[in-house]
Structure 1
Amino acid sequence: MSGENSVTVDVVSDVVCPWCFIGQKRLDRAIAAADDVEVHVRWRPFQLDPTIPPEGMDRRDYMIAKFGSEERVRQIHARIEPLGEAEGIHFAFDAIKVAANTLDAHRVIRWAGAAGEEVQNRLVRRLFQLNFEEGANLGDHAVLTAAAREAGMDASVVETLLPTDADVEAVRTEITTASRMGITGVPCFLLEGKYAVMGAQEADTLADAIRQVAAAKARGELETAAG
């Protein structure tokens, strides 16, 4: 049970969403700024495009088909890159060769949550880095297993479970639930399961929201939220 001066933040995100990577960095800074509040972070699944086949697609072709032209794709990347640099992210968009289906990545993130909050946070950070800074294919089971090992998970268990259907429906159900809640874009930060902060907001905005919800919780003004 969380203490009175604590806030749980459920981050609905996809690990192939550049704004989610930026949001993760800004959340870290917000938590550091709101250092009088104990913040617990849980990562929740969302898929930007669940129609991508399990083996993935050529990312260049995929992005051109999605945005209309290579020039438009470059404009989008050029807008995001300096925002990433400001957060210490070195986006290497040209290094990403595969547009991955992230269902399996979300399964591993779910299993990491069972191993502990810090393990899950380490895994999510590593997956963002692998995709956006190293151009790794997040649909590749070997990549996911190695990331799990780096995060402190039992890699042999992950390697055994990935080829099975373990937790496929559970992850899909969570994604459906997010949609039913009205979440159509990510990242979305859900504070105490009640208050939503949409988009990769600045760290100060997130820190203020964390403090306000913590204060309301301490005053007993929040209804009990489902976990």
Structure 2
Amino acid sequence: MIIDIYQDTICPWCRIGKKNLFDAIAQWQGEPITVRYRSFFLDPNAPKEGYPFREAMAKIAGGPGGVDRILEHVTQAGERVGVPFRFDRVEYKPNTLLSHNLIKVTPEEQQTQMVDAIYRAYFEDGQDIGNLDVLVNIAKEQGFDPEAVRVEVANVSKQAEIEEDLNLAGELQITGVPFFVIDEKLALSGAHPAENFLKAFEQASLSEQE
């Protein structure tokens, strides 16, 4: 079974949804599951340097007063599934192109740990994951050659693969993430709980047997 996750690296609900998905995978007793990470941009027009975080959030929240309510809601949702958020440390809403490229240059069997490391750097440590030096350091901490990663990421070596993901998302009419596609048959939009993923696994497995 193959599950495609369309996600953006600054999307807190993507982090929560991914956690729920992997909780479901840990409980699943059926066929093996392979997870593939697909790129998506919540803000495809973000400048290279990104935006000040609270200023960007205020536009989404309809003003500064709504920002804390949104962040508290996300933080509590994360706590319920064991995923911490420290929005008090986040200063930027970055352009995520380079972070998606870092995921793409990571070998498939290590992409999950890289995605987790990027999420931690941003949501827990408040690091600017649009910054090349930050991404190179994340890769170094994950055991990769920092200079090789620097060249790959700086040159956006996986631009074609990223654009392919974006085109696929367009064909599927994906307008928000997280978005999960199971065996190219079933789709779930949003940070579903683990039990919903398990039901979807069962449905996909049964459809294969028919």
TM-score calculated relative to the size of structure 1: 0.87
Aligned to 1:94: 88
Alignment of 1:99-114 (within 5 A): 99-112=93-106
Shift of 1:28: 1.1
Structure 2: gaps spanning 5 or more residues: none
Answer with 160-169 or 97-106: which moved more.
160-169
Residue of structure 1 aligned with 2:15, choices 2, 12, 21: 21
Letter in 2 for 1:166: S
Give the counterpart letter for 1:187 in structure 2. Answer: P
1:116 pairs with one of 83, 87, 108: 108
Give the distance between the partners of 1:159 and 1:151, measured in 2 at CA.
14
Aligned-pair identity in percent equals 32
- Partners of 1:99 and 1:56 lie apart in 2 by 6
Q: CA deviation at 1:214?
A: 2.0
CA gap of 1:208–1:154, structure 2 versus 1, over 3 A, is farther
- Mapped to 2, the partners of 1:44 and 1:53 lie a distance apart of 21
CA distance, structure 2, for counterparts of residue 26 and residue 47 of structure 1: 21
Q: How much does 1:127 deviate?
A: 0.8
Corresponding residue for 1:32? 26
CA shift, 1:170, in A, is 3.0
**TM-score of the superposition, structure 2-length normalised?**
0.94
Which of residues 165, 174, 177 in structure 2 aligns to 1:174? 165
Q: How far does residue 65 in structure 1 lie from its aligned partner after superposition? A: 2.6
Is the partner of 1:29 in helix, strand or coil?
helix
1:156 positional shift: 2.3
Q: CA deviation at 1:160?
A: 1.2
Match of 1:224 in 2: none
Instruction: Provide the secondary structure at the position in 2 that maps to 1:189.
Output: strand
User: RMSD between aligned alpha carbons?
Assistant: 1.5
